[in-house]
């Protein structure tokens, strides 16, 4: 019975420690002003690579129908 009590206390201590860590992180997150957040977002957006433009599909593949879908499936390697 004593082992179960120790395990329960250890679990309670773990939950408490996790709550403390979450509370500390939340306080740090809320410490940012709106201007700080905006500046960081602009920095991240400027550092992000430009997305590649999608290549247009051939006109034959845009046609709907079972024959075209089947042909596309059969052509795949």
pLDDT band for position 68 (50/70/90)? Answer: low
Assessment of whether the complete model's pTM goes beyond 0.75:
no
- For residue 75, which of 56, 55, 54, 60 has the smallest C-alpha distance? 60
Specify if 72 maps to a domain.
Answer: no
pLDDT in tens, 8-56: 999 999 999 999 999 998 888 888 888 998 999 999 999 988 888 777 6
With H, G, I as helix, E, B as strand and everything else as coil, classify residue 60: helix
The total number of structural domains that make up the chain = 1
- For residue 63, which of 72, 55, 54 has the smallest C-alpha distance? 72
Domain that includes residue 32, residue range: 1-48
The one-character DSSP state at 7 is H
Specify if 33 maps to a domain.
Answer: yes
Specify if 58 maps to a domain.
Answer: no
Q: Please give the full DSSP string across 10-51, using - where no structure is assigned.
A: HHHHHHHHHHHHHHHHHHHHHTS-HHHHHHHHHHHHHHSPPP
Specify if 53 maps to a domain.
Answer: no
């Amino acid at each position: 019975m004593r082992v179960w009590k120790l395990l329960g206390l250890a679990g309670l201590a773990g939950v408490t420690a996790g709550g403390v860590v979450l509370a500390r992180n939340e306080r740090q997150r809320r410490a940012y002003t709106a201007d700080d957040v905006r500046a960081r977002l602009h920095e991240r957006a400027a550092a992000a690579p430009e997305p590649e433009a999608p290549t247009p599909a051939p006109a034959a593949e845009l046609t709907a129908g079972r024959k075209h879908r089947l042909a596309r499936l059969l052509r795949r390697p």
